[in-house]
A and B are shown apart, each in its own frame.
Chain A
Amino acid sequence: MSKGLTWRFGLILLFIFLSCLYMTPTFVSPLPSWWKGLLPKDRINLGLDLQGGTHLVMEVEIQKAVEGALDLIAGDLEDSLAAKTIRFKKIGRIASDRIQLTFYDRGTADTVQKIVKEKYPTLEIVPPYDEGGFVSMQLRVGAKEAQERKDRAVAQALETIRNRIDQFGVSEPVIAREGLTNIVVQLPGIKDPKRAIELIGRTARLEFKLVDETVNPATATPGTIPEDSELLMEKKTDPTTGAVTEIPLVVKKKAMITGDLLTDAQVRIDSQFNQPYVAIEFNSTGARLFDQVTAANVGKRFAIVLDNNIYSAPVIRERISGGSAQISGSFSEKEAADLAIVLRAGSLPAPVKIIQNETVGPSLGQDSITKGLMAGLVGVALVVVFMSIYYRLAGLVANFGMVLNVLYLMGALAALGATLTLPGIAAIVLLIGMSVDSNVLIFERIREEMRLGKPPKAALDAGYDKAFLTIMDSHVTTLITAAVLFQFGTGPVKGFAVSLSLGIIINLFTALVGTKSIFDFALSRLRIKRLSI
């Protein structure tokens, strides 16, 4: 008996030691320099609801990624056919998964079919057919190919968003893919969530387009402009009043140069007007294109378009070689900095839509921690006082078990590097009440056995034995629901489930082994004749 007792106390002390060891990184910061090697470094993380921050779920509009790719292919085909002086009537995307090419005769169509086969082997070709005096041909993206492109788009979007957040500077962000199309982003402790969301969610497709000078933008409507042009808006913000004016401009649909040819983007300040602008550098292809386009269009206006908004449309005064340019516009220094970040990090392959945005300010988080702690302390105090009065010394033993329960739970949470949320704190508080339940069941049973006239030792053992099954039952049913909550819950609810289920499992040890050891010790070593229960 006494041998078993030593063993049990050893286990209890070992767990206390381990709990304290694992909790050290959570409560001691920074860790002393000798704390290294095998010593644990994981700590209890605070959930976003406690430390403040933003939780975003974004949906990548993957269909648009396929459409965008097809648009590019259509444009590329136009260019290469023009370069080969092959005549075509029209090339364009006609549905979300296909491009139609229309020619004047079948011979051309057959030639083009060969070219396409060679250049885009993954596209399915619907053979040329006659249609109203012309010959048409369709290129289709197959289901498998489309799926791959969509998948790649999400992976690429994730990478781009990670890049942007890294450059924006957020400590310990979480960026993960969820399901087929969603990306989850968590930004703990972020100060300006709105700015961050705008930065992350922006597609950032940069295009340089020539202004169509043949149309008067003031009277233009989408119906009256030439087919290869489009009507876009230039937004101007008055720096003193903050009023936004929109100036319409008609530009060529075809982008002469795009943002993927950039190598760098930096914020600079214009020394003359003290205005920030973004200086961009092109790679060699971009520099060559820029050189050609500016040489051929001196005197015309060149619109700088980002996500279909015109930033500025300066007049090309001379041929620009060397591969650098600048984007100026009426923006603040912060906006210029964000623009530089998104240009450096690259554009998203498809637009993203924010479908969930939860932001908690740091003050509310701190408030929640304080109140959670308060509720916990009050809970502990009430339970401790009640148990000591109702069960006297035995109540104190149960209280000791409860404290062990909470201590071990914190240790386990730290060892797992778990995230503590407000519902998680609530679970710990609830556990304070639930953890003495097991002892209540045992004590009531012991009282019963004593009423039957059993001596203390026999009553004690019978009480623990007979209450055991009941305790198991109640723990199992609670665990079933906690497990389900863990499986389907997100964020805060998961935190609740983790704390609750761990606490319940630990309670089996603290309430059964922990408290029993103390009683056994008291009876065998201290030779106590009467149970104070």
Chain B
Amino acid sequence: MEFIGKTHIDFMGKKKFSFAISIVIGILGIIGIVRIALGTANMGIDFSGGTAVQLKFAQPVHIDRAREALAKHGLKDANLQEVKAGNKLLVKIGKTSLPQGNAADLIQAAFQKELTGNTFVVESSTEIGPAIGDKLRKDTLIAVAISLIGILIYIAWRFDFTFGIGALVATLHDVLAMFAVFFLLDKEVNLLFITAVLTIAGYSLTDTVVVFDRIRENLHKNTKDSLETIFNFSINEVLSRTIITALTTFLAAGSLYFFGGEVIHDFALALVVGILVGVYSSVFVASPIVEVWGRRPKTSKA
């Protein structure tokens, strides 16, 4: 069976359009990152410090009722989130002046008093001191930097400079796109999200490498045609595998998103977004950048 037979899509010709889209994605991603740096993003408490408590109630709780109950007990800054299945409520309180170790107890006490008759159990409770959050933030930055440098070194060794730049920009593009989507959906940026970002940074290169390998192969064989023709021809040649490799991984990540439960719901979403953007960037970002670079790349290494 074949989804995609022989195609003759002019990918390179659409680069004005695709670059425009990518620039918008990039800017949104950068805004997301800047907001994280400024501390105005929706940060998980593992980075910002604070308390998160997940409660499971016996009966449905209206989120406004819950907010009122907390406000009565001096917790009006609490961030509430309903988990669709099973009357669950996630209460998050950032860094407060409250003495540590008290916020989780206060939340429980408030609900016990205000929502009488609706019993609950604490499914999970996390308290993170500001020192831990600071350390984690620093460690994360280092980890992201090391990963990107590692990938850059590997690509520089495997490909020549122009291809290296193309692959790196595509990778950065995918990372930014994930930040952009989480920024637009106002999803929480936590350690799991960063894990997803790094995973995709490694994984999305697969498609780029597939395309690049073919372009190099064809540059060897064909020295007459223009770069644009060879690039288009190569991308069309490997288009079906680019899409199918992503599709199988997408099927797996998708089942995590739909069936994996609320704890990794956002993590799976980040993976799904990353996989989709990864396909797009290998075709519409990585290759056009190499082509726009304008010269015929050296093809000594294969």
Contacts and interface: CB of A to CB of B under 8 A. Distances in A.
A431 B256 CA distance: 12
Interface residues of A, number: 70
Contacts of A49: 263
Contact of B124 (A361, A382, A426, A431): A361
Given A386-B251, A432-B252, A441-B245, A359 B1 contact: no
Interface string B161-182: 0000000000000000000000
B252 A356 contact: no
Interface stretch (B13-21, B139-147, B227-235): B139-147
Contact of A423 (B250, B258, B267): B267
Interface string B246-260: 011111111110111
Contacts of A493: 191-192, 195
Given A375-B256, A426-B267, A477 B195 contact: no
A441, A476, A480 interface centre (most CB from chain B within 10 Å) = A480
Contact of B248 (A59, A433, A481): A433
A374 B259 contact: yes
B251 A379 contact: yes
Given A49-B263, A357-B126, A383 B121 contact: no
Interface string A487-504: 111001100100010000
B205 interface: yes
A93 to B, nearest CB: 26
A429 B244 CA distance: 17
Contacts of B254: 382
Interface stretch (B29-37, B128-136, B283-291): B128-136
Nearest to A444: B241
B246 to A, nearest CB: 9
A496 to B, nearest CB: 6
Nearest to B264: A426
Interface stretch (B65-73, B110-118, B150-158): B150-158
A487 B129 CA distance: 22
Given A356-B128, A359-B125, A423-B192, A485 B248 contact: no
A480 B154 contact: yes
A496 B195 contact: yes
Interface stretch (B74-82, B206-214, B218-226, B292-300): B206-214
A80 interface: no
A436 interface: yes
B132 A357 contact: no
Contacts of A441: 210, 241, 245
B252 A383 contact: yes
Q: Is the interface of B mostly helix, strand, loop or mixed?
A: helix
Contact of B121 (A361, A386, A433, A469): A361
B249 A478 contact: no
Given A356-B127, A488-B139, A386 B247 contact: yes
B129 A386 contact: no
Contacts of B250: 433
B260 A489 contact: no
Nearest to A480: B150
Contacts of A59: 129, 131
Given A440-B241, A496-B199, 19 more contacts: A354-B100, A355-B100, A359-B124, A361-B122, A363-B56, A371-B261, A379-B251, A382-B251, A389-B1, A390-B2, A423-B264, A430-B256, A433-B249, A477-B203, A482-B199, A484-B146, A487-B143, A489-B191, A492-B191
Q: Which 9 A-B pairs rank lowest in CB-CB distance, beginning with the nearest?
A: A433-B252, A371-B261, A355-B129, A474-B206, A481-B202, A433-B249, A378-B255, A478-B202, A444-B241
28 contacts: A354-B129, A355-B131, A363-B121, A371-B261, A372-B260, A374-B259, A374-B260, A378-B259, A386-B248, A390-B3, A426-B268, A430-B253, A430-B271, A437-B245, A444-B244, A470-B213, A473-B158, A474-B206, A476-B154, A477-B202, A477-B203, A478-B206, A481-B151, A484-B147, A484-B150, A488-B140, A492-B192, A493-B192
Interface of B: 1-3, 54, 56, 100-101, 105, 121-129, 131-132, 139-140, 142-143, 146-147, 150-151, 154-155, 158, 191-192, 195, 198-199, 201-203, 205-206, 209-210, 213, 237-238, 240-241, 244-245, 247-256, 258-261, 263-264, 267-268, 271
